[in-house]
């Protein structure tokens, strides 16, 4: 079980992973050493899986964001495993979800331009054995994007 202080630590860290331990400890009302102990425990227990820097995709030249629905010819374990392993190896695939409904997978892909998307679809995605149908939708504008999970509200 994690307590209210742990929830507050998690909330603050997911909003700013660069917060210093001193700043974090002050914000949660602990001295630095116990605060760091709690952070390390949260890491060990898997609540914190990694620390990252979020980059601006446009500024790094990845101007095209696409959602791709993929239907496999058959949903058999071997086909699912092959597809998932193939997708994990591609850096332009930002997210991949096994879905219910018409499509088996939903991918979020970022690429520099339409030619890069064409290459991804024609020379990679469509060549994965078992892929039956591919439908793409372009994101015209990002209305909302966040990485912070909605944690339980903690009363102080």
4-49 per-position pLDDT tens digit: 999 999 999 999 999 999 999 999 999 999 999 999 999 999 999 9
Which pLDDT score, from 0 to 100, does residue 153 have? 81
Instruction: Return d(Cα 39, Cα 108) in angstroms, integer.
Output: 31
What CATH number labels 64-138?
Answer: 3.30.70.920
Given a contact cutoff of 8 angstroms between Cβ atoms, the answer to whether 36 and 55 are in contact is no
Q: What are phi and psi of 118, to 5 degrees?
A: -60, -45
Q: Whole-prediction pTM value?
A: 0.90
Domain boundaries in the chain? 4-44, 64-138
Given a contact cutoff of 8 angstroms between Cβ atoms, the answer to whether 73 and 132 are in contact is yes
**Encoding tokens for residue 147?**
């990485």
Tens of pLDDT, residue by residue over 110-148, are: 999 999 999 999 999 999 999 999 999 999 999 999 999
Q: Please give the radius of gyration of the chain, using alpha carbons only, rounded to the nearest integer.
A: 20
Tens of pLDDT, residue by residue over 87-107, are: 999 999 999 999 999 999 999
- Class of the 4-44 domain? mainly alpha
């Amino acid at each position: 079980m994690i307590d209210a202080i742990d929830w507050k630590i998690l909330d603050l860290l997911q909003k700013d992973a660069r917060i210093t331990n001193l700043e974090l400890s002050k914000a949660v009302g602990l001295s630095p050493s116990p605060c760091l102990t709690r952070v390390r425990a949260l890491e060990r227990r898997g609540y914190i899986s990694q620390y990252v820097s979020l980059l601006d995709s446009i500024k790094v030249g990845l101007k095209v964001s696409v959602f791709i629905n993929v239907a496999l010819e058959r949903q058999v374990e071997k086909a699912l495993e092959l597809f998932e392993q193939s997708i994990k190896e591609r850096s332009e695939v930002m997210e991949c979800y096994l879905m219910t409904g018409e499509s088996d997978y939903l991918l979020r892909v970022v690429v520099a331009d339409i030619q890069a998307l064409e290459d991804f679809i024609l020379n990679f995605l469509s060549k994965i054995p078992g892929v039956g149908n591919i439908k793409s939708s372009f994101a015209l504008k990002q209305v909302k994007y966040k990485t912070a999970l909605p944690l339980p509200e903690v009363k102080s």
